[in-house]
Amino acid sequence: MKRPIYYALALFFAFAISACSHSHEHSHEGHEHSHEGHAHSHESHEHSHEGHAHSHESHEHSHEGHAHSQAAAAHDAVAPNILHFSKEQQKMIEFAIEKVKPSSFNGAVKVAARVEAAPGNVTTVVATNAGRVHYAGNVVEGKDVRAGEALFSLDGSNVTENDAAVKFAEAESNYRVAKADYERKASLYKDNVVSLKELQTAEAALKQAEAHYNSMQGNFSNGKMVLKAPMAGYIASLLVDNGAYVAAGTPLAQIQRSGEVNIVAELPVRFASALTNIAGVNIELTDGTVCSLDEVEGRVLAVGRSANSCNMVPVTVAARRLDAVVPGSIVTLHLSMSLPEGQTRLAVPRTALVEEMGNFFVFVHKGGDAFEKREVRIGATDGRYTQVLRGLHSGEAVVSKGAVSLKLSHGAAALDPHAGHVH
């Protein structure tokens, strides 16, 4: 009975030894695979080192570019505001350079002003009697007219008083009566029947009646009174509509002619004391053009000595050659005052200034095609020149025309050609 048991145990141990041997072989095979994976890991590690070396190389290249950028910045820092504008560029625009010079003006008052025709260059056509107005042809505002040209007719046929036809008949009758009376007295005077005084009185009455009659006869046609232009010029304004009824003395139109104009401004009363010391006047037109009084043959005509109901003081400037504007338009006056005798301040043309973010700059000529962009502190302006309180020295030359173009060209040249490129 024990023998089979021993036999079974022997078989169990034999199977166990065989299984253990097989497992050990697989373990060695797995160990070899592990070594192979480990070797592969080492190979990847070497590749990683190679990539790391390449990264170091790129990093060195980046440092090299950074060093190059720093060198360029250092070069720009030597003269950061020096610009170059070639002669060819200057010829393409309106370009000028002007030396900075001292000026004696001490501030200026800037005020809007209205242009009006001088009194001698404007007249009004008025109705001589009551009636209905009829335009004589194509009468419109702005039309040129000749002296003596018919503009209106007045039809008083339906008017019981001041009828033109009735008045003309009266004038004609008075003239004939006065003429007959004078002729009769002239004959009697020869016979010493009437005195010389009576004859002279009759003669005076005749001349008056004749003048009135001739005046009406020249302005009367087909039962209507004709109103003519009293001078050559243009119709500045029509004051009545065609067909309207008017009374005697009613303004019908204004006639103006070219010539001297008055420029009228009103300033607050606080400027009254300054207006006694006006050193010069510049006129700024709507297109930005600035004229001095000398250029337009002008003069300060009058300065008010009292304030009006609006607490304003009027100032009137006359100009003989201001053809660029018409009466009724608005201009700007720059009334400048003088510094105390012996004192001056530097000034540059207003066109020399360029503005950036509320700061003002000029371009100083450094020789050749080189210009320095320099910030300045400005003071008052008289419309043409602006005081420079800081930033310039007497004798330096600045760009007086073309400063904006120079600024724009510098802005285009300042664009970074590498903008957007990332190393």
Same domain for 275 and 398, yes or no, is no
Give the residue numbers spanning the domain of 332.
107-118+259-338
- Name the 3-class secondary structure at 137: coil
Average pLDDT over residues 320-347: 86
Question: What is the reported pLDDT for 162?
Answer: 56
**Position 417 confidence tier, pLDDT thresholds 50, 70, 90:** very low
Instruction: State whether 149 and 238 are in the same domain.
Output: yes
Domain end position, chosen among 229, 256, 283: 256
- Quote the number of domains for the chain: 3
Least confident interval from 139-153, 331-345, 366-380: 331-345
Give domain status of residue 17, yes or no.
Answer: no
CA distance 60 to 325: 71
Res 254: pLDDT: 95
Is pLDDT of 239 > 90?
yes
CATH code for position 205: 2.40.50.100
Residue 332: which CATH number?
2.40.30.170
pLDDT, residue 416, reads 41
**pLDDT higher than 60, residue 6:** no
Looking at residue 368, the DSSP 8-state letter turns out to be T
CA distance 362 to 399: 7
Predicted local distance difference test score (pLDDT) of residue 3: 47
CA-nearest of 268, 262, 324 to 299 is 262
pLDDT at 27: 38
Tell whether the model's pLDDT for residue 17 goes beyond 70.
no
Give yes or no: residues 330 and 208 share one domain: no
If one compares 159 and 260, the residue with the highest pLDDT of the two is 260
Same domain, 303 and 393: no
Average of pLDDT values for 325-333?
Answer: 91
Counted residue by residue, the chain has a size of 423
Average pLDDT, the chain: 78
| DSSP conformation letters of 212-241 | HHHHHHHTEETTEEEEE-SSSEEEEEE-S-
What dihedral do alpha carbons 144, 147, 149, 154 form, nearest 10°? 110
Residues 302 and 400 in one domain: no
Assess contact for 263 and 316: CB atoms under 8 A.
yes
Domain endpoint, select from 338, 369, 387: 338
User: Is residue 43 included in any domain, yes or no?
Assistant: no
Here the CATH number for the domain that contains residue 408 is: 2.40.420.20
Does residue 278 register a pLDDT over 90?
no
Alpha-carbon span 151 to 239, nearest angstrom: 13
Determine the pLDDT at residue 79: 54
What strands lie across the sheet with 261-268, from one edge to the other? Answer: 290-292, 278-284, 330-338, 105-117, 261-268, 312-319, 298-303
Q: Is the pLDDT of residue 55 over 50?
A: no
What is the mean predicted confidence (pLDDT) over 35-55? 41
Is it the case that residue 2 has pLDDT exceeding 60?
no
User: Given this model, what pLDDT does residue 418 score?
Assistant: 41
% of the chain at pLDDT higher than 70: 74
pLDDT reading at 19 higher than 50: no
Higher pLDDT, 168 or 229: 229
The answer to whether residue 72 sits within a structural domain is no
Q: Residue 49: inside a domain, yes or no?
A: no
Which of residues 188, 221, 256 is at a domain's end? 256
pLDDT of residue 317: 95
Tokens of 222: 């087909």
CA distance 277 to 270: 14
**What integer is the mean pLDDT of 285-297?**
91
Q: How much is the average pLDDT of 126-141?
A: 90
Same domain, 226 and 129: yes
Give dist(CA 266, CA 289) in Å, integer: 22
Q: How far apart are CA 245 and CA 250, in angstroms?
A: 10
What is the model's pLDDT at position 106? Answer: 77
- Give phi and psi for 37, each to the nearest 5: -65, -35
Mean pLDDT value of segment 288-303: 91
Q: pLDDT tens, 376-395?
A: 999 888 888 999 999 999 88
* 238 and 173 together in one domain: yes
pLDDT at 223: 67
Q: Span 329-352, mean pLDDT?
A: 87
Q: Where are the beta strands (DSSP E) in 66-209?
A: 82-84, 96-99, 101-103, 105-117, 122-126, 131-135, 144-145, 150-155
Contact predicate 418/324, CB 8 Å = no
